[in-house]
Amino acid sequence: MQSIVSVACILVAACGSSSGSEGGVLTCGWVESNNCWKQTVEAAVSCLPPASEIGVLSADAMSCTYASGDVVTSTLPLAPQMTPPQFNFTVTTGAGAECLHWESGQGSVVVTTSAGTVTDAPDATSDVMLTCPDGAVFTADQAQSQALLACGADGGISALPGHRAQQGTSGTSAHAEFWVDGTSAGALQIFNCQN
C-alpha cells in the first residue's frame, strides 16, 4: 500500500526590502522585491545538499544523511504524520557548519541562516506578521493576505513566503521532501530523503 501526503503551507494562508526599514503592510511589491525572506533563505543556497542528491532517511525519520556529508537532523519526524504537519530541523554541512534551521507549526514559522532569522507569528489582528532580521515587521490582515495570492505569474503560490512538504511510504520504504517557497527562483529544495 502506498501513502503520499503533500502539504503546502503559505505564510499568507496561515503568511520592499527590509534593510533599515520600519516595515509596513505586505504587498505584491514586497513579494516581488529582494525582501528579507528571500535574502534569509537564499543565504543557505550554497550550503544546502545538492538538489540532484538524495539523502538516506533514518529508520525513525529523525535524520537524513547525504553522501556529501551533509546531514538533516530533526526533533520531529521529517515525514510527519500529524495534520497540519510540524517541522523542527537543522541542515548541517559535511564540515559541521549549520546551514539552515527551520521550525514551523501551529501557524508560525521561524527560519534561520547566516543572514539572520525571519519569523512569521500571526496575532489576533494579522494573518501574517513577518519579522525580518533587522527587526522590521510586515503584516497583512485577512483581506490583504487574500490579495497577495494574486501576486506572481503562477497565481502567487510559489512566489509567496512559505513551504511545501511531501512524504509517503510504499511497503517498508519511506521518503520525505521539503521546499521553501518565495525565493527568487520560486521553490528551493531543502532536502530530499528516502530509505
Say how many C-beta atoms besides its own lie within 10 A of residue 65's C-beta. Answer: 17
Q: What confidence category does residue 81 fall into, taking pLDDT thresholds of 50, 70 and 90?
A: confident
> What SS3 class is residue 33?
coil
> What SS3 class is residue 39?
helix
pLDDT of residue 7: 39
**Taking all residues of the chain, what is their mean pLDDT, rounded to a whole number?**
86
pLDDT of residue 46: 96
Q: What DSSP character marks residue 47?
A: G
- Residue whose grid cell is 493576505: 145
Q: What's the rounded mean pLDDT across residues 31-60?
A: 95
Who wins on pLDDT, 66 or 171? 66
| Residue 91, pLDDT above cutoff 80 | yes
Render 63-78 in DSSP notation, one character per residue: EEE-TTS-EEEESS-S
Q: What's the rounded mean pLDDT across residues 42-66?
A: 96
Who wins on pLDDT, 108 or 171? 108
pLDDT of residue 5: 37
| Residue 3, pLDDT above cutoff 70 | no
Q: What confidence category does residue 8 fall into, taking pLDDT thresholds of 50, 70 and 90?
A: very low
- The full set of domain ranges for the chain reads 2-194
Q: What DSSP character marks residue 141?
A: -
